[in-house]
Amino acid sequence: MSDRRRAITPERAHPRLAPGLPLPDHPREEASAGILQERLLAWYDRERRALPWRPPPGTAADPYRTWASEIMLQQTTAAAAAPYFNRFIERWPRVEDLAAAELDEVLHAWQGLGYYARARNMHACAQAVAAAGGRFPDREEALRALPGIGAYTAAAIAAIAFGRRAAPVDGNIVRVLARLDAVETPLPKARGEIAVRARELAPSVRPGDFAQAMMDLGATVCTPRRPRCALCPWREPCAARAAGNAEAYPRRAEKKDRPVRYGVAFWIERGDGAVLLRKRPLRGLLGGLMEFPSTEWRARPWGGSEAADCAPAGIAAGGWRAIAGTIGHTFTHFHLQMSVLAARAERSVGTSAGTWVALDRLGEHALPSLMTKIADHVRRAGDGDAHPAPRPKRPPRRQES
């Protein structure tokens, strides 16, 4: 065993523990950080996942790839993020390449991953790093100053890409540590307590591997449902397992119901079959993406004539037709119910209100999944003469605590 791996052993870290004996059942009292580190890193060396952003064992991680993967993995599973990561790296192999891209290109490449503010911040961050010489800073404080990099992402990059003793805490790590210590404080309040515990456990040797090991443990063994406790390297010191109710952790505060908002989209079609799209403002929800023109989204439903007053002026040739049914879509903080008003445009009309796009070319634009739902809804109602581009599937979320 190399000196790098020999620095901590169970016997040196816990002299009362004889070789081969199981770990004690009370982690705070008995299982030292050194024991937990050694057990988890040994497990990781055997069981680490092969992921496209991870270099082979013993090879230094690339900061650009580490950063790109961590941004994509926010709210997204590794399996869903992997093909997007591969396409991004193939298209923009260096941070300078991504910085030089148009934002619309980045948003279109991101289409289907959701949470589009990540893509806008990713582009802005790439430009900031490229302007500073193309090198990511190697310390958490400096990383947090970059667009789109919060405390978790900064700690992950510092640990994984630069070997800094840092303690990233994602949903998987929250779950693992909440179970290890049977944390009774419900989420989200417990996150501060768990972050302190993560910093206590973070080793000075192989901090990046340790952080990724906890992520892998949560993703493959300490799962939200039916955790595979028999395979866990921390099964003996895990307080939740010892109590026989690992699945009950982390504790959760009662969730508040999401409010419902209402909006009306305007399906405006020219004689040649093209429909009107416009770009949303850069700031705010779905910022910088393309949309069908619509009313604001508000707490009370819209009346038909009231909504029509909000339509782009001087475009519709006749009256508005209500498309039967509604489109439901859920955002992080609210549910949205959209209805649709359709109209034909004046013949050969031009407009500064947006862009005319053929239905079979919608897929070439950065449309969020809500807009593809609207296009599909209109097509099923018979108001579209051609099929819209296939709707991108939203990947499953990363397992969150």
327 φ, ψ (degrees, to nearest 5): -115, 125
- DSSP string spanning 173-230? HHHHHHHHTT--SPBTTTHHHHHHHHHHH--SSSHHHHHHHHHHHHHHTS-SSS--GG
Rounded Cα–Cα distance for residues 331 and 16 (Å): 52
Confidence (pLDDT) at 75: 80
For the beta carbon of residue 33, count every other beta carbon within 10 angstroms: 16
**Residue-level pLDDT, tens digit, the chain, 401 residues:** 333 333 333 333 333 333 333 444 444 336 789 999 999 999 999 999 999 999 998 889 999 999 999 999 988 889 999 999 999 999 999 999 999 999 989 998 998 887 888 999 999 999 999 999 999 999 999 999 999 999 999 999 999 999 999 999 999 999 999 999 999 999 999 999 999 999 999 999 999 999 999 999 999 999 999 999 999 999 999 999 999 999 999 999 888 889 999 999 999 888 888 889 988 887 778 888 889 999 999 999 998 788 888 888 766 656 788 999 999 999 888 999 999 999 888 655 556 668 888 888 888 887 888 998 999 999 888 754 433 333 444 444 443 33
For the beta carbon of residue 80, count every other beta carbon within 10 angstroms: 19
Confidence (pLDDT) at 7: 36
Active site residues: 70
pTM across the whole model: 0.72
Domains of the chain, CATH where assigned: 3-248 (1.10.340.30), 260-381 (3.90.79.10)
Confidence (pLDDT) at 316: 64
